[in-house]
Amino acid sequence: MMSGRSFAVFAIAFAAAYAVLYVIAIQYNLALFTYHPASEEFHWLVKPAADQPAMYWYGWLATSALGAFALALIAAALPAAWTARIWSGWSWAVPLAVMAVFGYILRGYFIR
């Protein structure tokens, strides 16, 4: 069971890592699986769409969640002296920064 300090470190690290890993997964199309809604099929990793649309979003979420969970477990296992001064604001500051990055990545849709 995690102590209160370990859970706080885990939660902060998960929130920050998830946001960063999500933007990386989308930018480089690192989906854990692909869903084809027309045929209702799931495929491991990225399977390009041939004759039907493919949905990578679920795979990006899973990739980000697994990576963030692993990084947060590592952060929670660090000694208390190393994690004593982690700012809790990272759990909202990093996702806000990622939103700005998404705005930059998607700027072509806004500037036409």
- Please give the full DSSP string across 49-66, using - where no structure is assigned: -SSS--B-HHHHHHHHHH
Compute the average pLDDT of residues 31-46. 84
Tokens of 45: 């990793």
Q: Please report the sign of the dihedral spanned by the C-alpha atoms of residue 82, residue 85, residue 88, residue 94.
A: negative
What are the tens digits of pLDDT across the range 66-110? 999 999 999 999 888 888 888 889 999 999 999 999 999 888 888
- Report d(CA 79, CA 15) in Å as an integer: 20
pTM for the predicted model, two decimal places: 0.85
Residue 24 CB-density burial (10 A; 0-12 exposed, 13-18 middle, 19+ buried): middle
Whether the per-residue pLDDT at 40 is higher than 70: the answer is yes
